[in-house]
Structure 1
C-alpha cells in the first residue's frame, strides 16, 4: 500500500469529530463579503500550496444527500503532516438493498501533494482518466478489498474520493463491481472543488 493509501487509512482511523463551524464561519459579515475564499483551517511548514478545498465545508450537503450519502452524519479529520496536509471528510451511504448491499461509505480527502506524486506511489494500481475534464487517476488496488478511488488534480494538489462497498452478504464482491456507478458520483461532486 502506498504512503497516500496509508494516509487514507489514517484518516478513516483518526479520531474524528462531528463537523462544527470553523473559525472562518465566525467571521463578521463585513469580513465574509470582503473575501469569498476561506482561510485554510490547517497549513503546514512544507512550502507546498495551502489546501483550499475543505470537503466537509465546501461540498454542499444537498449534493451529498442527492448522491446517496447522509450529510447530516459527516465527520471530519485534519491531518497536518509537516511536509504535507490532508483535510478529510467521511460520509456514510444511505442506500440499502437487503441481501445485496448495506451501503457505500465515502471518504473525501484533499491534500497538497501532486497528482504525479500520487502516481509515483500508486501507479501500479492506477489508470489515467479525467472527471469533467479534470486530470484524474482511477485506483483499484486488489489489496484494498472492495474499495474504489478516484484521485483528481487540483491547483493545490489532489482531491481523493475513496468509496468502500459495505456489503450485507457473505462472500466477496467481484472486483469488477467495486467502482460501479462511482464515476458518476465523483462527477457530480467535482464542481464543488475550488481550483
Structure 2
C-alpha cells in the first residue's frame, strides 16, 4: 500500500460519513486502500519508547483516550461523543490508533501513527494536492483532492511519527458556499497544543 493511500483508507474504512466521489456520489473504496483492523489488546500493549513488530516506535498517543472534553470543545466538536469503532488498524508496515468525532457540520477522524510525515508526503494518491503548512512548529501538509470534494485532510509530525486528521462534510461545501478545508489548520493547532508531553 502506498503511504498516501492511507488518507483515503482512513476516510473510507473508518470515517463516520464514508467517502463519496464528487462526480458520482458513490462510496469509493479499494481493497488496497482499506487497512486491516488489528486487535485492541495488541494496540493496548504499546508504551512510549517501545517498538512495534515493524521496528518502528509504537504509538502512545491515543485520540480516544487523550483528548479531553475541553479540548474537543475548543476544536469545535461534540465533547461528549467519541467513535472508538475500528480504533486501531495496521496499514502495511504502519500502525495507527484512530478515533472519530462529530460536529453539526462535519465528522472528523484523527489517527496517530508511526509513519513519518515525509513518508506520507512521498506517496500521495493520484489527484492529491498537498499544501505545506506549519502546526505549532511541526511540519505538515493540508491535502485536497478534486475527486473527493467532501473531505479535507491535514497531517503533521510528532515525535512518534505523525497525526493525520480527515474531515468529512455531509453536504457539498460548494453548495453551502464553504471551503471544506476552512479552519482545519485552526483545529489542528488546538489538537497539537493538547498532545501529551513528549509526543
Give the TM-score taking structure 2 as reference length: 0.71
- Whichever structure has more helix as a proportion of its residues is 1
Counterpart check, 1:129 vs 2:95: no
Write out per-residue CA displacement over residues 10-47 of structure 1, whole angstroms, 9 at most, x where no aligned residue: 23279x9xxxxx969xxxxxxxxxxxxx837xx74100
What is the aligned partner in structure 2 of residue 67 from structure 1?
A: 75
What is the aligned partner in structure 1 of residue 13 from structure 2?
A: 10
SS of the aligned residue for 2:80 comes to: helix
In the alignment, is the contact (CA less than 8 A) between 2:101 and 2:107 conserved in 1? yes
What is the aligned partner in structure 1 of residue 142 from structure 2?
A: 138
Return the offset for 1:6.
3.6
* Structure 1 stretches of 4+ moved >4 Å: 169-174
What is the aligned partner in structure 2 of residue 56 from structure 1?
A: 64
SS of the aligned residue for 1:90 comes to: strand
What is the aligned partner in structure 1 of residue 118 from structure 2?
A: 116
Q: How many residues align?
A: 166
In the alignment, is the contact (CA less than 8 A) between 1:111 and 1:159 conserved in 2? yes
* Structure-2 change in CA distance of 1:170 and 1:88 (3 Å): closer
What is the aligned partner in structure 2 of residue 32 from structure 1?
A: none
Q: Gapped runs of 5+ residues in structure 2?
A: 19-34, 38-42
Counterpart check, 1:165 vs 2:189: no
* Structure-2 change in CA distance of 1:140 and 1:172 (3 Å): same
What is the aligned partner in structure 1 of residue 22 from structure 2?
A: none
Question: Which structure is higher in RCO with an 8 Å CA cutoff and minimum separation 6?
Answer: 2
Q: Gapped runs of 5+ residues in structure 1?
A: 17-21, 25-37, 96-102
Q: Structure 2 residue aligned with 1:192, among 191, 194, 199?
A: 194
Write out per-residue CA displacement over residues 143-170 of structure 1, whole angstroms, 9 at most, x where no aligned residue: 2222111101111111011111223x89
Give the TM-score taking structure 1 as reference length: 0.72
